[in-house]
Amino acid sequence: MKILANDGISQSGIDALTKNGFEVITVNVAQEQLVNYINENEVKALLVRSATTARKELIDACPGLKLIGRGGVGMDNIDVEYAKSKGLHVINTPAASSASVAELVFAHLYGGVRFLYQSNRNMPLEGEANFKGLKKAYAKGLELRGKTMGIIGFGRIGQEVAKIALGVGMHVLAADKFIESAVVPVILATGDRIDVEIKTVNLDELVKNSDFISLHVPAQKEYVIDATVFSKMKKGAGLINAARGGVIDEVALVEALDSGHLSFAALDTFENEPKPEIKLLMHDKISLTPHIGAATLEAQDRIGEELASQIANLLK
């Protein structure tokens, strides 16, 4: 039985699938050629990440498909309910990348409070001629300890962010429409463990009282953070989005940064992927990454192995 991992899969995932008798194809087929490739090669399972889409048209045109799998959490690039209505299995890996995304949030956050995103741009240009000037420009950094981290969306990834924040010594506020409270285990490398219960608050309370806000929500029809929400945030706050493009009004974000109301923002996802707006890419108060939240070797191994396990259970 052939499986097409069109956006790639870890070697551990390939090994696990091969061991269970599946043939894994890892060539990257262009979206417009995907239907023909699936049908001509009698592919039974299509695995995607964020690049490839599996919409109604593809599902209708590929009657031999039995399964569509998403390596990651969000499945907004798959017509999930329609696929299920046609008898296809639709799977994802909701837990595999949580720690990786949370660590990226703090990579951006540490970079934001110490101006690393600006310093790394300007040191190669001015470091030799204007060392003292740059030192003065970046000499008003902040510590995270004692600050308040606001987490919008308190599922698996949001709770992983909370673990790191608690370990750093931050206060944590969380908002979630579906979760009233969660016990977050902070586990040290020594094996010592502290369980911390966090009760969620409403969005307004979180926005008004957070020094930094991180988003961990699925794709939305409307903005979660728009001009009205920006106006309620603390002056000098920072904002991180490693969730989905389209949950932040990017025009309002630029205005909040330009006015000085926000001190910095960090974006791993964008409304217009894979061609983010140039105003975002060139803005000197935005830390940027190209949608790499789950892109660690450890996460990709976990994703591949979790997909392999589910596929073996469903298709063998």
The β-bridge relationship of strands 237-241 and 212-215 is parallel
For 280-289, the CB contacts below 8 A with 24+ separation are 280/250, 280/253, 280/254, 283/254, 283/257, 284/118, 284/121, 285/118, 285/257, 286/117, 286/257, 287/108, 287/111, 287/112, 287/116, 287/117, 288/117, 289/104, 289/108
Q: Tokens 């996802």: give the residue.
A: 269
pLDDT above 90: residue 253: yes
Does the active-site annotation cover 145? no
Distance, CA of 88 to CA of 203 (rounded, Å): 37
- What structural domains and CATH numbers belong to the chain? 2-96+297-315 (3.40.50.720), 98-288 (3.40.50.720)
Measuring CA to CA, how many Å separate 36 from each of 62, 68, 114?
Answer: 8, 16, 50
Mean pLDDT confidence for 79-91: 97
Task: Tell me the pLDDT tens digit for each residue of 97-111.
Answer: 999 999 999 999 999
* Res 50: pLDDT: 85
- For position 67, what pLDDT does the model report? 98
Is residue 190 within 8 Å of 167, Cβ to Cβ?
Answer: no
Task: For the chain, count helices (H), then strands (E).
Answer: 13, 13
**What is the C-alpha separation between 46 and 55, in angstroms, rounded?**
12
| Catalytic residue, candidates 244, 250, 305, 306 | 244
Catalytic choice (114, 255, 261, 273): 273
Q: Average pLDDT, stretch 234-238?
A: 98
Q: Is the pLDDT of residue 184 over 90?
A: yes
Instruction: Establish whether 261 is a catalytic residue.
Output: no
What's the burial of 231, exposed, middle or buried (CB within 10 Å: 0-12/13-18/19+)?
exposed
User: How many CB atoms lie under 10 A from the CB of residue 140?
Assistant: 9
Span 248-265, mean pLDDT? 98
Q: Which of 283, 291, 302, 306 is catalytic?
A: 291
291 annotated active-site: yes
Inter-residue contact 162 to 197 (CB < 8 Å): no
What is the DSSP code (8-state) at residue 31?
G
- pLDDT for 74 equals 82
pLDDT in tens, 136-181: 999 999 999 999 999 999 999 999 999 999 999 999 999 999 999 9
